[in-house]
Structure 1
């Protein structure tokens, strides 16, 4: 099907494989749909050299004109391209230098990037298609359970440990590494305040005027000034900054299960929104946007799992966890810097099944935990 592919994709494949298109076999996989990636199109291909027929499974993310302003979409693609071409390679080299690839805390849970294109309005990223390595997305309609979140929090702990360690062991590199990282979430909500207001209005309508009076009163400011609260919460000014994933809903985590349906491995995908801030941003966004009651009820256990995993990783870097990120500071930040995760999560939940019930349950959780 090589000759039926768009010319720009043929050019990409020739660059990746350093060969003419006539010497490649190319199969298009199911699932190629416009808008699959929310901020662009996804194309799934299996490519092999005719001489050896060894398959290479690729996903091509490409920027297209759509419902979002072109400048915003371009900014998100450039942010992700910078992640794959500059930031993640630097993080990987730092781990190799100070940790070693055989260490269980070494983070390798990111898809391989084959190619990027920064042509304005036609940005592209070519990645390894993880589905062919046994990874799968969790169904969006089903809440994640405690076991899944334990695995996610352990991975985020190891991922955040890289930043904490780099900040202490190679501070100049960390400053350079995190300099000029954009906050695309802030950019989006400054120019698009509507989604937060519409979503909080839907939540407000679920309150029973008789039985939910205290809940409605506590939620009032979040309905009246939600977008301002969200933007203010993104202005983290504390000493525990790390490089974040920052787009942490369940559709950006892929799981691999063994024959006993136990989690064998996982991968983090989609770094278009990554920026710098408190680790709490990643954790609250991940938990609030996808957890069912079972996982939410065990939040304290998950926070302990995160901190224990972070501590183990930091010790392997030769650092003292209590000096690097004290557990008391972590818990204080959880209470103070949770509104980013909350607001992004209600937007995510608003598009899921049983949206109103799940959004109200999250508000009730925040109220019960004295986080509102």
Structure 2
């Protein structure tokens, strides 16, 4: 935050960029700078802006030229920044226009989006989108096909950027009318299976849940949708009502054995209503879990190692995975959520 006091024009640039992106009332929640020696012509500032009206977040990288006179005398700083500004403002848009005129179906994104530039001498700056912020939402959106999936693409727009994080957090902490103690991380890697024929993956005869580190209270649908969407296919999703009935019959039978009335504790109609509202929890988790399941073994993260979150984000973003299979499964999941009117 100290940098904004030293360079007031940066604060103005952040304000203008925020307004351009539809954020009028905001607070700056984080400002990070590059390490000494990482920039020879300027400084890098990674800024996070939070919309106080909608909780929308904007992540921006600001490249700011050095302002020290001695440094500017030693290096062609102004010319270099003018050159880069010209590339973002004039050259690269022409590349994109050329691709469009030639009928390229999907523009190759080689550079981050330039949000705004400032050319005043000794205050040269560029504001770029921060692509270090991992968007699983963007990866999921890439699985949809323009012209075929326009209906789903439109509905999925609200998950863009950090919005997907906010939606997930709201679902995670929301108090609901029918709640239960949840596992919180209910996918196959946190389950132990026993099979009918030991040593062969045939019919499972027993199952136990492990890793209860993030136990929480919430809608049972959070655990159920997480388990289903992180492992099943569109063929299973299309028979959702059948599986909900199987679950509810088992739930009801055990509740009655305990001496209670399942229709009072958690009516079947409430289960269906909760699924429309809270199954997004499982959908969002599936965007990441399916990526992990389809990642090449040599690229998997060993969480026993001492990784910082930024390192994990970077490793996941670079990991190799079966993109065709991922896109097929995520596309099926998003269509299912849209058809369910739960997206």
Greater relative contact order: 1 or 2 (C-alpha under 8 angstroms, separation 6 or more)? 1
Task: Provide TM-score, normalisation by structure 1.
Answer: 0.46
Task: Provide TM-score, normalisation by structure 2.
Answer: 0.49
Q: Which has the larger radius of gyration?
A: 2
